[in-house]
A and B are shown apart, each in its own frame.
Chain A
Amino acid sequence: MAQAKYIGQKVLRKEDPRLLAGKGAYVDDVHLPHTAHMALLRSPHAHARILSIETGAAASA
């Protein structure tokens, strides 16, 4: 019987060369256009009214 091509043989994974070269594309590596980032700013006051929020610097970032 002819030797099996894969069964019992060591097989090199096809996806490894790019992962080993740092060319994988993990979610954190993907930059889509117009992506917005957010950060939570918590109030230092337990009970207060928000009168206004300055968003100029964030919007222009």
Chain B
Amino acid sequence: MKVPVEITVNGTRHRSEVEPRLLLVHYLRDVLDLTGTHVGCETGLCGACTILLDGEAVKSCMMLAVQANVRAVETVEGLSVEGELDAVQRGFWEEHGLQCGFCTPGMLLSAHDLLRRSPQPTEEEIQRAIHGNLCRCTGYQTIVKAIQNAGDKMRAGKPSAASSSPSTRGRR
């Protein structure tokens, strides 16, 4: 038996009929075709599926799609505005906060959650904020630097170094 849900994803409202057992991450990936949110472990350990639910970081493999009914979800696909990387994405780019990139979407959204609560986090705060996100390239130190860089950019208000960044549109 399917049930109707209405979920706002990256600002767009979607109405769907879903199985009550469908995980939120599978709703995003398989129903909406937003494959930027990754399934790493499906047990809540790795954090690759981290999204923002009403602004707070949650692991979308630990939630059912029906639990997100009439709520707002933000995924990695919603971060860039008109193809321009946001402050957190640029911070990761400039500080080499990614290697293979698989954990990156979850890292980016955990970073957003942290920087919203704490605009100038200490190294320890950052480590705590991403302790639920595993990076198997083990580039944690550059990720910490990337989040500090992103915080600097956000506080400065405007993009800096990578403002000459090429558009992400049409690059696959």
Give A residues with C-beta under 8 Å from B. 10, 12-13, 15-26, 28-29
Cα distance A28–B166 when bound, in Å?
27
Query: Do A22 and B94 have beta carbons less than 8 Å apart?
Result: no
B34 on the A face (CB < 8 A): yes
Cα distance A18–B35 when bound, in Å?
12
The count of A-to-B residue pairs whose CB atoms sit within 8 angstroms is 72
Query: Do B162 and A19 have beta carbons less than 8 Å apart?
Result: no
Q: Mark B75-112, 1 if CB is under 8 A from A, else 0.
A: 11101100001000100111010100110110010000
Give B residues with C-beta under 8 Å from A. 29, 34-39, 75-77, 79-80, 85, 89, 92-94, 96, 98, 101-102, 104-105, 108, 162, 165-168, 171-172
10 contacts between A and B (CB under 8 A): A12-B94, A13-B93, A16-B93, A17-B167, A17-B168, A20-B101, A22-B35, A22-B37, A23-B171, A28-B39
Query: Do B172 and A20 have beta carbons less than 8 Å apart?
Result: no
| Residues on the B chain within 8 Å of A16, using CB | 92-93, 98, 101
Q: A12-B93, A13-B96 are in contact. List 11 more A-B contacts (CB 8 A).
A: A15-B101, A16-B92, A16-B93, A17-B166, A20-B89, A20-B92, A20-B93, A22-B34, A22-B37, A22-B76, A28-B39
